[in-house]
Each structure stands twice: as C-alpha cells, then as structure tokens.
Amino acid sequence: MQNMTKRGSVYYVRFIVPKERWQDVGAATGARKGTRRDITKSLDTKDYREALIRRDAALAVIREETNAALAAHNLPPLHGDWKPAWGNIQTRLTEQALTARPALEAASDYREPYYENDDSNTGRIIGESISDRDFGSDIVREELWATAQQIKAGSTNKQEGQRQALAAYEQALGIAMGTATPLSTLLDRWFPQLEGHVTQELIARHHRAFTRFGQYLATAHGVQTDHPEGYARSIPIERIDRRIAGCFREWLETLPNVGPRVVSCHLSTMNTFWKWAQDVGYAEVNPWDGSTRGLKKKIAKASRERGEKRPYTDDELITLLTQARERLQHPKKWPWARVIHDMLRLAPLTGCRQNELASLTVGRIIKPTQPDQLWRISVTEEVSKTRSATREVPLHPIAQEVIAQRLAELPPEHTQATQIFPECKPGGRDAKPGHYLSKRYATFLRSVLGENPEIDFHSFRRCFSTFMTTAEANGAQHCSALVLDHLIGHRPASLAHNTYAAKRFDWSLYDKAIMEMVDKGIHEHLKEWLNQTNFGI
C-alpha cells in the first residue's frame, strides 16, 4: 500500500521524508530523537477504498504543514529551491494562441442589428447580435484563462502565482487577438532563410543565443522552464526593448565561463535577427543596436590575459615534427600520425586553413604545363571561408613532395573528386573533412607541447605570414604585404590594394614569392627538418 499503513483495523497515511531532510524535519517538528523519517496520520476509516480516496488529500496537508514548520525555523521547504516549470505552460499558452489566431482572423465580425418593433424600415436599432468573432474570442479567453490558472494552482506563493498567471494570460491573449507577435512566428521564418547561406555551425550558435536569452527571460520573470529557447519563442517581439537588451548583456557577463567573445556573439545574433524583423515590418526599432559597444576592448583584454595567439617557434615545429615521425613507426597505435605529419609540412608552407587542406581532392591539384612552374593547390568556393579565400597557392618542392606521395598512393580507379587525405572523413554539423582532423590534431598538440592557448592549428597560418614578412625583411623582392594577402586569402586592408590594384598577378610572381619565403624566411635548421623525407613509412 503506497504511502499507507494499517494499525489494527484503521488505515493511516504515511508521508516519507527525504533522507537528506531527516534532521531538518526532525528539528522543525520537535522529534524526540532529533530526526524524523516519516510522518503518519490516521485516515479515520477502516474501508480500504475510502482510505485510497482520502490519501492524496492527507499527503498534501502533511506536506503543507511540514513546509510551514520548516519555514518557521528558517529552513527551506521540502522541495528546496526547485520550482515547477511554469515556463512550459506559458509555451503551451502561446501555442494555443497561435492556433486560435487564424480562426479568429477569418471569423466574421458582422453583428446583426435588432430593431424596435422588429421593423428594419421604421424601427430604430436597439441592439446587436454577437458576431462569430466575438463568440470565438469568448471561447479563446476561457481556454487561455483555464490554462493560465495551472500556473497559479502549482505555485506555493498564491499571490505570486496569480500575478504570473495573469501576465501569461494577457500575453497569450494579445497573440491570439493579433496585437502581439511571438518570436516563434518570426524565428520559424528566419531560420529557414539562413539555410544554404550560412554554415550549420553558425545556425547552431544562433540557437544557443536564443537558448541563453530564454534562460535570462525565465529568470527575470521568476519562472523555470525545461526548454529555454521555447520560452524565448513564446515572448512577443513587442515586449523586447532596450532595457531588456541591456539587462540581458549584464546577465550574460555575470555567467561563469562565458567570456566577452561569447557575449558578443550572442548579442550579434540578436542584432542580426532584429534587423531582419525590421526589414519585414515586425519591429519598429532595433533594441540591440549598439549593444556590443565596449566588448572589443574586453575581448582584447581577455586575449592578453589568456595569451595572444602566435605562430609556432622553430623549436616547437621541430618538436612536433619529431614526435609525429616517432609515432609514424606505430601506425596501429597512432593512426592519425601520417596525416598530422603531412600537415606539419604542408600547413606552414602554404598558409592554408585546416579544412582547406583536409578537403583537398585530385581535381584541386594543378600541375604546371611548363617545367619552371610550381604545382599549385586550388581553394575553391565550396571550402573557402570567405570570398577572398578563394585562391590558388603554389607548392614549394617540400610541400609538393607531400602531395606527390599522396597521389602515388591513390588507387588506379581514382577520380577528380577523390580525396588526397582519405583519413579525413566529413564530420560535424557542416560535414567538413577538417572536423575530425581538428580534434585529433588538438589531442596531438596537447600531448607534445602541453596545454597552451596561444598555439593551435591556425598558428601555421601565422607561421606562413611570419616567414613571408621575414623574407621581405631579408631582401626578398616578391614577398610584399599584398602578395601575402593574395596567398593567404585575406582581403587587403588598404583601399588602393583592395579596390584599384589587380586581384591576381602573374602566377610567376607567386611562385617566386614562395621560393623566396623558404629561402630567406625560414631558418636553415628548420628547413632541414621540413625537408627530411626518410622517416620510414
């Protein structure tokens, strides 16, 4: 008999006290031994069926009395800080309102007049009938009110529960009557428009931003929700003003493990969405305009404290190459050693991004038609990060050797779409070949050089830039800043370069720049390590 016991012929209700609260309940109720494991009360009946009927009511009374005793001793109630997820009920209210809205909009608002003496010609109008829309509105009001009362019924503080229920009801009524538009209606239009134009990772970041926004709104409204983004979607866009935008930023900045860069990303999501809402006529003003002001300085300060990103030193590159070559001897234990070793020779000599290299295909290897030209790799629009990143990069003979070896190992039936690095299977939200390489390289880097936030795979691009700049300082004639921008895939900063100068020069100039970079920009000792090929595959 759950929560019931029998003494003699009389049934009793048995309220079980949670183990972690035995001491508190014992102290609050004056238990003789100081602890109380259960509370037993008579149900005043010998009939089992009647006892079942009385049990739930008795349990509710015992819980209420126990919580009152705990409160009198300044102890938390039995449920602790937990609150019912009334935000879920508000989400349901919004769904009800959105369901009713089109029906109310389509309903007729005609009210048939009532004439004195029932004569429409001579009698004056003494009243009107109820229109279909009026009748439907009354029904919607009753249904929304009934749902909203669940908030009050489940609240331990009846006055606060009534306030929350009334606020939720009025909000849902505005949505149903067409005077308010919930964010869900707009988000369901906005997100599909992003598909195919931005990465899935960016879309996921937008969802995370609205999840955090929902967490803030629920906290500010004093409710709890199991689905924060759903709660945010239930809020009408008309209710979001500059005050809420400002408070959201302040709330974000108090969260642990949330830095200024994440705060900036979340606020940028809101700003982007509200600009779109303005364009489609659902927002008069953008409350997020200027919300990221001052964050750039905070991001820069956090970066300095964490450690500025930098290129690898020569010693670090040699250490990485040494460890990769040692692991090549144990391919079963280190299956990614070959890929990582190849990347260690390719990345610093090409300046390519991780995914640009991992996604290389046979068709993107451009072999020259003249003997004095270098091989090139093509970074196409499908894998480039930006429009400026679409480019062709010459391969120094050291890097060319890596690609040539990979091509020689391909099966005879390979096609132009065959991957140069078949180990790099597509993964992640955007199915990028660089997804798993990113994870495996990060593990390798930590195992060799330890935790160091200053260096990552992108540091190879910093090495490339450093090599080119060093070569220019050492007298290289073709390693200019503009050539570096073209090769690394950046939009030149100056107006003269990005607007008036040629977007591409003769390929011989880039070939010479790459050769000069290695000749005059890389230390001889490091060059020897990059050029070593006898590593016993």
For the domain made up of 183-305, give the CATH fold: DNA polymerase; domain 1 (1.10.150)
Closest CA to 319 of 452, 160, 149, 415: 452
In tens, the pLDDT along 338-387 reads 999 999 999 999 999 999 999 999 999 999 888 788 999 999 888 887 77
- pLDDT score of 259 more than 70: yes
- pLDDT score of 256 more than 80: yes
Q: What six digits make up the tokens of 64?
A: 């209420």
Same-fold call for 183-305 versus 314-531: no
Query: CA–CA separation, 317 vs 357, rounded Å?
Result: 18
Alpha helices for 307-361 (secondary structure H): 314-328, 337-350, 354-358
For the domain made up of 314-531, give the CATH fold: hpI Integrase; Chain A (1.10.443)
Query: CA–CA separation, 63 vs 165, rounded Å?
Result: 24
Q: 536 or 398: whose pLDDT is higher?
A: 398
Burial class (CB in 10 A: 0-12, 13-18, 19+), 393: buried
- pLDDT score of 144 more than 60: yes
What does the pLDDT read at residue 534? 45
Quick one: pLDDT band at residue 99, thresholds 50, 70, 90?
confident
Helices 183-194 and 200-221 sit at what angle, rounded to 10 degrees? 170
The highest-confidence range among 17-26, 263-272, 288-297, by mean pLDDT, is 263-272
pTM equals 0.64
Closest CA to 263 of 230, 298, 305, 300: 298
In tens, the pLDDT along 194-244 reads 988 888 889 999 999 999 999 999 899 887 787 889 889 989 999 999 999
Q: Are strands 4-7 and 365-366 parallel, antiparallel or unpaired?
A: unpaired
Quick one: pLDDT band at residue 108, thresholds 50, 70, 90?
confident
- pLDDT score of 535 more than 70: no
In tens, the pLDDT along 166-178 reads 888 888 888 888 8
- pLDDT score of 94 more than 60: yes
Query: CA–CA separation, 249 vs 189, rounded Å?
Result: 25
Q: Are strands 376-379 and 365-366 parallel, antiparallel or unpaired?
A: antiparallel
Query: Any idea where the domains of the chain sit in the sequence?
Result: 4-72, 86-108+129-177, 183-305, 314-531
Torsion sign across C-alpha atoms 415, 457, 510, 485:
positive
- pLDDT score of 82 more than 60: no
Closest CA to 288 of 347, 243, 319: 243
- pLDDT score of 310 more than 60: yes
Q: For the ranges 224-228, 281-285, 478-482, which has the lowest average pLDDT?
A: 224-228
3-state secondary structure of 246: helix
In tens, the pLDDT along 422-452 reads 999 988 878 889 989 999 999 999 999 998 8
Query: CA–CA separation, 25 vs 33, rounded Å?
Result: 12
Q: What is the C-alpha end-to-end distance of the chain, expressed in Å?
A: 72
User: What is the DSSP code (8-state) at residue 500?
Assistant: I
Q: Residues near 339 by Cβ (< 8 Å), separated by ≥ 6? A: 421, 423, 424, 437, 440
Q: 480 or 52: whose pLDDT is higher?
A: 480
